Structure formats: structure tokens, C-alpha cells
Chains A and B, each alone.
Chain A
């Protein structure tokens, strides 16, 4: 077994410097690497490019890095829940590249899988396709989209083991598996780091080969963005 375990978030983020490009898993606030983000705030690194579907909310998730003005550029598909983000974007402080959600996922997966680029129909005929190569296949038009290049991928899983094998839970899975192995260094944080042999190999979502460092997060707030409930009928 090749041991991927590191003892702390500090150790997990060794090598992080200013002006790097990061991938960060999560959809909304679900499945975000909370501990890695907290450590990035602590390290105070800046000039960052962050590839993440969303930009958090004002006081949680990537919003924490935005507050400290650590992010130079965001690559996202939807950024609607963050006032500070909108302010920085409209004032020109923050560079933003908005891309379709499926394209974001596939550009991560392409990097993971060794494809330099992919053709997608998403965005053809819109400003997203401006300046990009397009091509017709069987009468339909497609846009060439390149694989991402990133220095670190920060992902969050439910359970993992010292070999770096990961299991995700519910919709907290989202972009996390697609980002594993898609950057130079993949750092996985888990709610529960279990001894080797405890995870059933049949149930592994991401094999440890895609993970460079793994640690158990100290605390998980797991904040709910839109708490929606129904009443029990009496």
C-alpha cells in the first residue's frame, strides 16, 4: 500500500504559493473542501485562480477567500449567491470566466483522463464560444474546449483510507471525483479516515491512484444554503 495520509491540513497544503491555479470541489456549499479553504485563508496566499462551480456565499466557502481578496480569477458556472463576488466582478477587481456546468465538469475530467480537449455542443452560437474552434459532426455544431491545467485540486469526500481511496455521499459528490487527479497535486479531505481494509473495494468511487495526499478534516460545518422542508400532515 502506498500511504497517502498526512497528519494535518498544514501538511496537506505544503507547496501552495501565490498565483497558483486551484480546482475546488463542491456544488453550492455541498461537498466543499472546508478545511483546505480555511487553511488557504490562514496562509493568506493571493493572486489565485479558482476553478469551482460556485463561489460560495459571502461568509462561507470560497466567499472567505474573496473577502480577503485572495482570488484574482474565478472559473465557474454559477455565481448568483454571493454579493461580494458580484461587487468585485462588476468593479473589475475580479476576473471571471463563466462556462457551462457540464463543460466545467468535462474539462476537469479531460485533465484527469489525459484528453487535451473535448468537443461539446454546449454554448455553440453564444458568447461562450467566441474565439473558440468549432466543428460540425453529423450535422450538429460543437465547440472545442480545453482540459484545465491546475496546480492543486482540493476535494472533499465522506470516507477515505490511507491508500487514498474515496467514497462520497449524496450530492456532495458533484465535481469532487472529476477533479481527482486532474491537477498536479490532489489533496483529499474526508469526514472519516478509516483503517486500510475497512472500505469495500466494490464501493470505492475514486481509487487512491488519483489522490496524492489525504487527511481527516478537523471540523465540518456542512452549512445548508437553502433549508427547505415540508410540514408533516396531521
Chain B
């Protein structure tokens, strides 16, 4: 079973040379730490920066340079700043190659819910609805089950949707799954996790074909 950093490490392998990547808040933010150093990648943050770098050293924080999680950041050589309309032109206009975001629920048809628990938690969707409605390549990073042990990979989302039929791939602490017209196709299992473990933790339709390899991290 992977921890959050393990999930981020596995997703980092999906990032290819020449990609512009948007990272969501939470586990997705960690992905930047594990991207190979021999490829050229630029991270976009929807609040208006392309070419994000690591967190600043203590004493070098700048209130005017933050990421979408409101954390202080730095920029790398070649970075640029822009307004919100232009930022979402990059996203809506499909100039961003890969979007990685967290979710509360994913359905077997690729629906995603991650912005609201009615009557309980209403934080808002931020840029998530724009991202999932436009991106061609969306990977969800999340735990396979919630805190109560219930599956987050469902036949149908129970929470208000963020987007419909948009998720292509899900990487959890247990598995890598591809969203296909027939359901969640199991591609890889996490170290120490069996196909049966994954089956038991997946409410949506799970497709298992042939031998399922263990993830290489």
C-alpha cells in the first residue's frame, strides 16, 4: 500500500518531456517533487503563474508570489505571470497537457466529484470545473477508500459532480486504473496489494485482464 508520497511518485512517471502540467491541491502538489530531472516540464498554477519552482528559503517569501493553494513559491528561469482570464485560456483552450487533481469520488464512467458535501462542507470548486471540462488528459490522485473505509471508486457518484465523463486515469494508494467505456480497468497494483484487495475496495465495475503487474516506483 502506498502513502501520499508514493501516489505522487507513481503519477510523476506519467509526466512526459515537453509537458505543461497543472497540479491540484493536496497529493497532486507533491508530484512536482518526483518528476525526472532529465525532462523539461513546466508547472502551471491557475492563479497566474507558469514555470513554478520550489518553496522559497526562509526569509525569501513574497506575498505576491503564491500557488493555487495560497502557499508561497518561487519561479524558475523562463517563468511568466498572467491574469486569471489568460490562465483559464490556457486551461480551457487545451494548452495544458496534463491535469492532476484530487477527488472525493470517481465513477466508472469518468464522472468526478470533489467540491461539495451538501449541508456539511462547501468550499467551492475553484478552478476544478474548468480544468475537468477542458483537459484531454486528467489523472486523479486519491486514496482508494475514504476514512470510513468506503470505496471512492463508484458505479455512480453520490456527491454533486465537478465534471462528467472526464477522468482518464486514477492512481490510488492501492492501484493504477484506467477509465474505459466498460469500467475501471486495473493496470497495476501497489506493492503488497493483491487483486482481491483491490476488488474488495472498488465499488464500481473493475476489469481485470491477465496478470496485473506490481507498480515500479
Query: Taking beta carbons and an 8 Å cutoff, which residues of A are in contact with B?
Result: 27-31, 53, 76-81, 86, 89-90, 96, 98-106, 108-109, 120-128, 158, 168-178, 205, 222-232
Contact = CB atoms under 8 A, between A and B. Distances in A.
A127 B70 contact: no
Given A77-B124, A128-B129, A172-B64, A101 B46 contact: yes
Contacts of A170: 49, 62, 64-65, 81
Contacts of B48: 27, 171, 173-174
B122 A121 contact: no
A128 B164 CA distance: 12
Contacts, number: 183
Interface string B116-159: 10010011111111100110000000000000000000000000
B47 A171 contact: yes
Interface in B31-49: 45-49
A171 B126 contact: no
A227 to B, nearest CB: 6
B91 A228 contact: no
Interface string B174-192: 0000000000000000000
Most buried by A among B64, B72, B116: B64
A178 B70 contact: no
A226 B69 contact: yes
A169 B49 CA distance: 11
B69 A122 contact: no
A93 B49 CA distance: 36
A30 B66 contact: yes
A31 B72 CA distance: 14
Contacts of B91: 102
A109 B85 CA distance: 7
Contacts of B20: none
Given A101-B125, A102-B130, A228-B56, 14 more contacts: A30-B66, A90-B119, A101-B130, A121-B133, A126-B129, A126-B160, A171-B49, A173-B83, A174-B47, A225-B66, A226-B70, A228-B61, A228-B72, A230-B56
Given A120-B92, A222-B64, A229-B57, A100 B71 contact: no
Contacts of B61: 224, 227-229
Contacts of A127: 160-161
Interface in B78-98: 81-85, 87-88, 91-92
A105 B85 contact: yes
Contacts of A177: 83, 85
Contact of B123 (A80, A158, A222, A228): A80
